[in-house]
């Protein structure tokens, strides 16, 4: 694996929920995560549900927001940041909303499912930093509101029924099309349309490295597949590269 990273001219990382579970952030689509225990995900985490029942949405997202806010990068996030800093990886694409790649020092991360770190007023479209509303969002249990027109503030995460951010998807596709190596970390590639991004890389004859607990639909087209915990495997590869043994 290290040799493939050394040889890459335009390496791209594509990460999913599995890279962050060791940091304490559950995969919210997993039925045993607890996040769906009280709510129907297609209702409470949909844009329609947010508009119709914002109290239920904020009751659902509040513990997740607290977990994300307190979370720290694990070895996999730190390894991806190092690979980028050393030039082995040119671009990082993530499905995660937790900002842990950036906390680890990565730059220019494309967040195809949005971020929890900013919010937008549903009435005027003004954008605010979530950090300024932590009391309302996490501690008080209130619905954050715009100070200008009192419109509800919606976290800039992509809910069911919403369009993916046009600019982010464009960046991700462009990067995948230029890749000669795509490192797929902690995602089972089940969530469309971003699950198709590796196909753009394959169309450019890129090599795929997949590190994930479960199988993916592209395993048979990958150069290398490792089934396991990316937070254990990737740091070991980077450590070998750093000592010149990989």
Residues 148, 171 share a domain: no
Exposure string over 26-58, b if 16+ CB within 10 A, otherwise e = ebbeeeeeebbeebebebbbbeebbeeeeebbb
Instruction: Give the number of domains in the chain.
Output: 2
- What DSSP designation does 169 have? H
CB 3 within 8 A of CB 88: no
Write the CA distances from 46 to 29, 42, 157, 211, integer angstroms: 13, 6, 11, 30
Report, in angstroms and rounded to the nearest whole number, the Rg of the chain calculated over CA atoms.
18
Residue ranges for the chain with pLDDT beneath 50: none
Residues 51, 96 share a domain: no
Q: Interior CA angle at 207 toward 203 and 213, to 5°?
A: 110
Residues 120, 109 share a domain: no
Domain CATH code at residue 145: 3.30.1600.10
Residue with tokens 């919210």: 28
The residue range of the domain holding 210 is 1-24+74-113+164-246
| Residue finishing a domain among 93, 127, 157 | 157
Residues assigned a catalytic role: 113
In terms of Cβ atoms closer than 10 Å to its own Cβ (0-12, 13-18, 19+), residue 70 is: exposed
- Across the chain, mean pLDDT equals 92
CB 81 within 8 A of CB 109: no
Instruction: Please tell me the predicted confidence (pLDDT) of residue 32.
Output: 53
Instruction: Please tell me the predicted confidence (pLDDT) of residue 243.
Output: 84
| Residue finishing a domain among 137, 157, 177 | 157
Tally Cβ neighbours within 10 Å of residue 221.
13
What is the per-residue pLDDT across 68-114, written as a single tens digit (0 to 9) for each?
999 999 999 999 999 999 999 999 999 999 999 999 999 999 999 99
Residues 61, 140 share a domain: yes
Helix 75-85 vs helix 230-242: crossing angle, to nearest 10: 40
CA distance 85 to 80: 9
Residues 214, 94 share a domain: yes
């Amino acid at each position: 694996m290290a040799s493939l990273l050394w040889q890459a001219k335009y390496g791209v990382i594509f990460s999913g929920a599995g890279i962050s579970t060791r940091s304490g952030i559950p995969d919210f689509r997993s039925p045993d995560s607890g996040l769906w225990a009280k709510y129907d995900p297609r209702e409470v985490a949909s844009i329609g549900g947010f508009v119709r029942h914002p109290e239920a949405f904020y009751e659902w997202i509040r513990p997740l927001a607290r977990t994300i806010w307190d979370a720290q990068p694990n070895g996999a996030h730190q390894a991806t940041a190092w690979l980028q800093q050393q030039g082995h990886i040119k671009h990082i694409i993530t499905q995660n909303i937790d900002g842990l790649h950036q906390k680890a020092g990565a730059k220019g991360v494309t967040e195809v499912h949005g971020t929890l770190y900013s919010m937008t007023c549903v009435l005027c479209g003004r954008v605010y930093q979530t950090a300024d509303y932590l009391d309302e969002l996490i501690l008080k249990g209130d619905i954050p509101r715009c100070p200008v027109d009192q419109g509800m503030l919606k976290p800039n995460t992509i809910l069911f029924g919403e369009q993916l951010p046009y600019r982010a998807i464009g960046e991700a596709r462009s990067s995948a099309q230029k890749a000669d190596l795509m490192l797929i970390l902690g995602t089972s590639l089940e969530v469309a349309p971003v699950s198709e991004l590796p196909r753009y890389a394959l169309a450019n004859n890129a090599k795929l490295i997949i590190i994930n607990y479960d199988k993916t639909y592209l395993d048979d087209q990958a150069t290398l597949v490792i089934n396991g915990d990316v937070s254990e495997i990737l740091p070991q590869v980077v450590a070998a590269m750093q000592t010149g043994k990989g």
